[in-house]
């Protein structure tokens, strides 16, 4: 036999019958496992060294079938009698010690009193094949990860890295995964990005510092490490099982891959240390390269922003060419088209009064390397505009051919303008003091006391006396007796802390008291000793009286709010509570005084919080009220639903300052709606049971026919590999078809998630057809399916939208079949299509059943209304469907088309992020 024939035989897991019978290796008594079988495939005798690896090592007095020695999944490989197995390679999995399978391959040959089954261990061959496949998949994965990280834009780098970590976690079944990099100060490791499975605990958070424990783990060549073997890793994984993989570049270990809750030897036994290092290199090498690129861009942007903010920029003088080069930002500020210009043209743009001095200084800098420091005025392109003041500084660096003359220009126009307006500002200040409604005063510090030395002219109109009438004793006498302790404390606090703000009453010359807001600051000399106090008195009598009235009014309203059964609160636009009454505190299981400062969004999911804040952002002074149902996770409870009304409080510029809110608990009503929806779903599933049984029975019939045909071929001795392969593929396809139906039934029947999620409505159409299409076609109904192929997202539950479509199609099916019973030539059909515009997507379900009686149109969506016979319909299908679509923000409607009823599901499209 040629080597090619032998190789082909191995690939097909077959050997020629002659080789099987005469092969010396297989008949050697000390090799493999030898089993003597009778004609009924019962084990008569075991021999060979491999029998010691079997769970059943001895033959009982009563022989048992060979299948009792095999793993359950391997029993399907030995149908028939030993005579049917001749000429075939048998791959069998025997029950080994400790419930471990023993993988053996062998052939059957006849003996004088039965049959001899000779087997060899192929565990190593299967292991090598599995490891080779794992290495190939690992190589493809590393190429994909590296390419994605290298090609993505810098703004999308964090998201792409998260996506690749999730991909890696899904492929290798890692519950928690993270990449750790050195922090910016290179003082320790911190989590740069992480991902986890939806049901896995969170081990790390973004930016979490991990310390320096990882630095001592790779003193030699980098290699993956298991947490159980290194105590330093226990804190990083929270004393859970973990696995770390380093990445080393020219500077040493630069990154770590952290795999939490991951028994690597069990989950990835086929991956070697080299495979893990390649995966980490594919992830870390492009990541570090892109991060360095990002830091470089940020550095350039900061430099450019700093020059722009300061109104400055660099310049360089080229003496051999008599040219000057300006920074791009500086050239733009000066109105120049390009950064290079001759020195002569530059001097022409300088104010004539500064031109000669600048020219002399530049020559001195060029010839003698004398530092340049000069303030000049630069003329504007528009002669009507004032010149711009610049601080010009330069120096020569280097020597010989490497000598360069560089410097910078700083816009100091504001400083010059401030200096020019200083005198005017002093004059205005004097006039302001004289005309100010507040009384400005100065008190001189003398031996621990403050003596009045100045009062502005507004003192006389306010209190009716002047500075000449003031003395420390007179001022104390004019303070209200109830406020004198506070007045003395004001003086002590001013001397002790250097500033004070106080409020007290002072009597005027007519005997009336005024509430004064006293604000003062203590001035000290260079030694820190007090010199004088400068302050002001502001008459706040009306404001104080009004505040007292408001306080009394608020006290009355506070009692009303506290006694209300509704939840009442106030909070800022960022959802931070400033007030909450007792019912709200009772729901949140805390005291009312603990509510201020608590964020209301902490009881919401990120999606709920984003939608809540977005709704508040739509409030305006014209439309200041909004009502919605919100979902919260209260302490120690299941999800709660509140009907929540918000009223925005705006300032004069229309900015939202605060929100006043009132809410009531709607949890029981919402749970009843959910139970009604689930009941209707299960009723729908029950109605489809017959059709689904037919859907599953069809692939079973196909598989049975394929098996019968194969057995006939085997009985005739006409066995071809291509024929067997084609039949096995057909059986596998039918198994997958039945599995898809069963899986979709299980997904459809389970309870919907609490929160709505974005999804493509076309997926609901696909799921509906997967459950109903074959059953309807089997009843003679034609399905007309549209060719919609757009990609949009709506918010809701895909299984609930499937429930709506199933209800509509089942109702149409029942109506059409009833009509066909009365009219046998009738050809029924149901059309299912979808379309979209800029804001909405519409799903259509239409039939040719003649339509709905117009008198029933207004009642068709009412609960328990049905036109079906008694005990056939519940009357909930359309009512529940209407509520499902309405909860998704959409609308369910019905009309009569040319051939029959036409239902439309209209849903709002989510804006693309």
- The last residue of a domain, from among 599, 630, 665: 665
- Both 658 and 620 in one domain: the answer is yes
Please state the rounded mean pLDDT for residues 898-909: 91
- The last residue of a domain, from among 65, 98, 121: 121
Task: Provide the pLDDT for residue 572.
Answer: 92
- Both 896 and 813 in one domain: the answer is yes
CA 784 from centroid of its chain's CA atoms? 39
Rounded to 5 degrees, φ, ψ at 767 are -65, -40
Q: How many domains does the chain have?
A: 6
Does residue 690 register a pLDDT over 60?
no
Tell me the per-residue pLDDT of 567-589, one tens digit each, with 9 for 90 and over: 888 899 888 998 888 888 877 77
For 1-10, 206-215, 356-365, 849-858, which range has the lowest pLDDT when averaged over its residues? 1-10
Please state the rounded mean pLDDT for residues 9-37: 51
Tell me the per-residue pLDDT of 737-785, one tens digit each, with 9 for 90 and over: 565 555 555 544 444 455 678 889 888 888 888 777 877 887 888 998 8
Task: Provide the pLDDT for residue 1.
Answer: 36
The top-scoring range by mean pLDDT among 298-307, 482-491, 803-812 is 482-491
- Both 33 and 177 in one domain: the answer is no
Does residue 907 register a pLDDT over 90?
yes
| pLDDT > 90 in the chain, percent | 8
Angle between helices 123-151 and 157-172 (to 10 degrees): 170
DSSP string of 778-811? HTT-EEEE--------EEE-HHHHHHHHHHHHHH
The answer to the question of residue 188 being in a domain is yes
The answer to the question of residue 303 being in a domain is no
Task: Provide the pLDDT for residue 14.
Answer: 38
Number of Cβ atoms within 10 Å of the Cβ of 195: 21
In this structure, the strands spanning 782-785 and 829-836 are parallel
For 113-122, 434-443, 493-502, 705-714, which range has the lowest pLDDT when averaged over its residues? 705-714
| pLDDT > 70 in the chain, percent | 82
Q: What is the mean pLDDT of the chain?
A: 79
Give the DSSP H or E segment for 612: helix 606-617
The answer to the question of residue 126 being in a domain is no
Q: What's 102's domain CATH number?
A: 3.30.450
Under the banding of pLDDT at 50, 70 and 90, the label for residue 818 is confident
3-class secondary-structure state, position 185: coil
> Of 190, 20, 8, 29, whose CA–CA distance to 107 is shortest?
20
Please state the rounded mean pLDDT for residues 325-335: 81
- Both 338 and 415 in one domain: the answer is yes
- Both 221 and 366 in one domain: the answer is no
Under the banding of pLDDT at 50, 70 and 90, the label for residue 440 is confident
User: In terms of C-beta density within 10 A (0-12 exposed, 13-18 middle, 19 or more buried), how is residue 805 classed?
Assistant: buried
Under the banding of pLDDT at 50, 70 and 90, the label for residue 669 is low
In this structure, the strands spanning 499-507 and 639-650 are unpaired
Task: Provide the pLDDT for residue 559.
Answer: 61
Under the banding of pLDDT at 50, 70 and 90, the label for residue 332 is confident
For 13-17, 465-469, 557-561, 817-821, which range has the lowest pLDDT when averaged over its residues? 13-17
Find where tokens 């007292």 sit. Answer: 548
Angle between helices 123-151 and 273-310 (to 10 degrees): 10
- Both 540 and 570 in one domain: the answer is no
User: In terms of C-beta density within 10 A (0-12 exposed, 13-18 middle, 19 or more buried), how is residue 518 classed?
Assistant: buried
Under the banding of pLDDT at 50, 70 and 90, the label for residue 845 is very high
Task: Provide the pLDDT for residue 520.
Answer: 92
- The last residue of a domain, from among 545, 579, 594: 545
Could you tell me the CA-to-CA distances from 485 to 448, 488, 514, 515 in Å, in that order? Answer: 18, 5, 17, 15
Q: Rounded CA gap, 753 and 762, in Å?
A: 19
- Both 735 and 852 in one domain: the answer is yes
Task: Provide the pLDDT for residue 214.
Answer: 79
Task: Provide the pLDDT for residue 176.
Answer: 92
Under the banding of pLDDT at 50, 70 and 90, the label for residue 17 is very low
Does residue 27 register a pLDDT over 50?
no
| DSSP 8-state class, residue 219 | S
Please state the rounded mean pLDDT for residues 703-722: 70
Q: What's 180's domain CATH number?
A: 3.30.450.40
Per the DSSP assignment, residues forming a β-bridge with 520 are 500, 535
Does residue 605 register a pLDDT over 50?
yes
Rounded to 5 degrees, φ, ψ at 385 are -85, 150
Find where tokens 């051919």 sit. Answer: 401
Q: Rounded CA gap, 691 and 685, in Å?
A: 10
- Both 685 and 619 in one domain: the answer is no
Task: Provide the pLDDT for residue 904.
Answer: 93
Task: Provide the pLDDT for residue 701.
Answer: 61
- Structural domain for 76, as ranges: 3-121
Q: Rounded CA gap, 599 and 549, in Å?
A: 31
Task: Provide the pLDDT for residue 870.
Answer: 43
- Both 508 and 541 in one domain: the answer is yes
The answer to the question of residue 551 being in a domain is no
Q: Rounded CA gap, 793 and 757, in Å?
A: 9
Q: Rounded CA gap, 514 and 506, in Å?
A: 5
Task: Provide the pLDDT for residue 293.
Answer: 87
| DSSP 8-state class, residue 562 | H
Residue with the bigger pLDDT between 401 and 392: it is: 392
User: Which residue blocks in 645-796 are alpha helix, DSSP H?
Assistant: 667-687, 689-716, 721-749, 761-778
Task: Provide the pLDDT for residue 668.
Answer: 66
The answer to the question of residue 550 being in a domain is no
Q: Rounded CA gap, 704 and 876, in Å?
A: 40
Angle between helices 721-749 and 689-716 (to 10 degrees): 160
Task: Provide the pLDDT for residue 719.
Answer: 65
The top-scoring range by mean pLDDT among 355-359, 681-685, 878-882 is 355-359
Q: What's 625's domain CATH number?
A: 3.30.450.20
> Of 110, 137, 102, 118, whose CA–CA distance to 33 is shortest?
118
- Mark 11-33 as b/e (b = at least 16 C-beta within 10 Å): eeeebeeeebbeeeebeeeebbb
Residue pair 723/711 in contact by the 8 Å Cβ criterion: no
Does residue 368 register a pLDDT over 60?
yes
The answer to the question of residue 555 being in a domain is no
Under the banding of pLDDT at 50, 70 and 90, the label for residue 198 is confident
Residue with the bigger pLDDT between 135 and 671: it is: 135
Residue pair 616/646 in contact by the 8 Å Cβ criterion: yes
Residue with the bigger pLDDT between 752 and 723: it is: 723
DSSP string of 405-457? EEEEEEE-HHHHHHHHTHHHHHHHHHHHHHH-SSEEEEEEEETTEEEEEEE-T
Tell me the per-residue pLDDT of 697-709, one tens digit each, with 9 for 90 and over: 556 666 666 676 7
The answer to the question of residue 62 being in a domain is yes
Tell me the per-residue pLDDT of 86-96, one tens digit each, with 9 for 90 and over: 888 888 888 88
The answer to the question of residue 15 being in a domain is yes
- Both 703 and 844 in one domain: the answer is yes
> Of 682, 584, 599, 693, whose CA–CA distance to 640 is shortest?
584
- Both 375 and 489 in one domain: the answer is no
Under the banding of pLDDT at 50, 70 and 90, the label for residue 26 is very low
CA 67 from centroid of its chain's CA atoms? 52
The top-scoring range by mean pLDDT among 175-179, 213-217, 266-270, 630-634 is 175-179
Task: Provide the pLDDT for residue 199.
Answer: 84
- Both 74 and 149 in one domain: the answer is no
Does residue 9 register a pLDDT over 50?
no
Task: Provide the pLDDT for residue 865.
Answer: 55
């Amino acid at each position: 036999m040629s080597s090619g024939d032998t190789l082909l035989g191995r690939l097909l897991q077959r050997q020629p019958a002659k080789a099987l019978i005469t092969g010396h290796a297989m008949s050697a008594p000390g090799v493999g496992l030898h089993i003597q079988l009778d004609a009924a495939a019962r084990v008569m005798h075991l021999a060979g060294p491999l029998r010691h690896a079997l769970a059943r090592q001895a033959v009982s007095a009563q022989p048992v079938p060979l299948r009792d020695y095999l793993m359950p999944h391997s029993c399907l490989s030995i149908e028939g009698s030993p005579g049917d197995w001749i000429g075939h390679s048998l791959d069998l999995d025997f029950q080994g010690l400790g419930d471990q399978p023993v993988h053996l391959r062998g052939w059957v040959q006849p003996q004088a009193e039965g049959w001899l089954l000779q087997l060899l261990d192929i565990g190593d061959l299967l292991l090598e094949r599995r490891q080779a496949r794992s290495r190939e998949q690992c190589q493809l994965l590393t190429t994909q990860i590296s390419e994605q990280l290298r090609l993505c834009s810098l703004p999308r780098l964090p998201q792409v890295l998260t996506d690749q970590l999730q991909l890696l976690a899904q492929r290798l079944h890692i519950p928690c995964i993270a990449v750790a990099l050195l922090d910016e100060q290179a003082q320790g490791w911190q989590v740069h990005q992480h991902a986890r499975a939806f049901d896995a605990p969170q081990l790390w958070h973004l930016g979490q510092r991990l310390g320096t424990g990882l630095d001592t783990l790779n003193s030699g060549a980098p290699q993956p490490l298991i947490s159980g073997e290194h105590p330093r890793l226990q804190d990083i994984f929270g004393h859970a099982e973990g696995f770390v993989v380093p990445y080393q570049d020219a500077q040493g270990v630069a990154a770590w891959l952290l795999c939490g809750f991951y028994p690597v030897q069990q989950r990835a036994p086929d991956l070697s240390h080299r495979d893990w290092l390649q995966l980490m290199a594919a992830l870390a090498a492009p990541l570090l390269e892109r991060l360095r690129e990002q830091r470089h861009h940020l550095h350039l942007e900061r430099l450019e922003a700093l020059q722009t903010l300061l109104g400055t920029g660099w310049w360089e003088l080229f003496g051999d060419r008599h040219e000057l080069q300006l920074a791009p930002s500086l050239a733009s500020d000066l109105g120049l088209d390009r950064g290079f210009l001759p020195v002569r043209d530059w001097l022409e743009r300088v104010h004539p009064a500064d031109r000669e001095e600048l020219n002399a200084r530049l020559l001195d800098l060029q010839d003698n390397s004398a530092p340049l420091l000069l303030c000049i005025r630069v003329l504007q392109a528009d002669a009507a505009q004032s010149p711009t003041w610049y601080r010009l500084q330069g120096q020569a660096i280097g020597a010989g051919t490497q000598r360069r003359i560089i410097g910078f220009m700083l816009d100091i126009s504001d400083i010059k303008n401030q200096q020019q307006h200083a005198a005017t500002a002093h004059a205005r200040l004097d006039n302001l003091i004289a005309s100010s409604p507040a009384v400005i005063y100065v008190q001189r510090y003398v031996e621990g006391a403050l003596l009045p030395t100045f009062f502005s002219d507004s003192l006389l109109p306010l209190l009716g006396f002047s500075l000449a009438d003031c003395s420390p004793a007179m001022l104390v006498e004019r303070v209200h007796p109830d406020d004198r302790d506070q007045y003395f404390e004001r003086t002590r606090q001013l001397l002790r802390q250097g500033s004070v703000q106080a409020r007290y009453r002072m009597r005027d010359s007519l005997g009336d008291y005024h509430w004064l807001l006293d604000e003062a600051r203590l001035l000290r000399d260079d030694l820190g000793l007090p010199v004088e106090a400068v302050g002001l008195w502001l008459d706040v009598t009306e404001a104080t009286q009004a505040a007292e009235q408001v306080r009394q009014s608020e006290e009355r309203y506070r009692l009303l709010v506290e006694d209300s059964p509704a939840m009442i609160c106030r909070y800022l636009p960022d959802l931070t509570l400033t007030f909450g009454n007792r019912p709200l505190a009772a729901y949140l299981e805390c005291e009312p005084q603990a509510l201020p400062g608590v964020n209301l969004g902490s009881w919401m999911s990120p999606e709920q919080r984003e939608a809540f804040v977005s709704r508040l952002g739509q409030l305006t002074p014209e439309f200041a009220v909004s009502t919605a149902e919100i979902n919260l996770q209260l302490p120690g409870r299941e999800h709660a639903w509140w009907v929540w009304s918000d009223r925005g409080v705006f300032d004069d510029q229309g900015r939202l300052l605060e929100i006043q809110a009132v809410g009531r608990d709607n949890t029981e009503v919402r749970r009843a709606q959910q139970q009604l929806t689930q009941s209707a779903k299960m009723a729908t599933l029950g109605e489809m049971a017959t059709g689904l049984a037919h859907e599953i029975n069809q692939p079973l019939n196909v598989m049975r026919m394929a098996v019968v045909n194969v057995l006939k071929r085997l009985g005739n001795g006409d066995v071809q590999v291509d024929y067997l392969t084609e039949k096995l593929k057909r059986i596998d396809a039918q198994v997958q078809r039945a599995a898809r139906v069963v899986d979709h039934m299980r997904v459809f029947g389970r309870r919907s998630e609490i929160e709505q999620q974005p999804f493509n409505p076309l997926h609901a159409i696909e799921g509906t057809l997967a459950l109903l299409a074959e059953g309807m076609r089997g009843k003679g109904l034609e399905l007309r399916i549209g060719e919609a192929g757009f990609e949009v997202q709506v918010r809701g539950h895909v299984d609930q939208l499937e429930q709506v479509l199933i209800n509509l199609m089942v109702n149409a099916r029942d109506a059409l079949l009833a009509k066909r019973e009365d009219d046998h030539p009738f050809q029924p059909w149901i059309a299912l299509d979808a379309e979209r515009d800029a804001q909405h997507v519409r799903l259509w379900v239409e039939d040719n059943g003649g339509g709905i009686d117009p008198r029933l149109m207004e009642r068709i969506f009412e609960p328990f209304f049905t036109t079906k016979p008694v005990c056939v319909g519940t009357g909930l299908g359309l009512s529940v469907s209407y509520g499902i679509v309405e909860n998704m923000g959409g609308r369910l409607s019905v009309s009569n088309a040319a051939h029959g009823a036409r239902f439309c599901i209209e849903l709002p499209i989510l804006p693309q992020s």
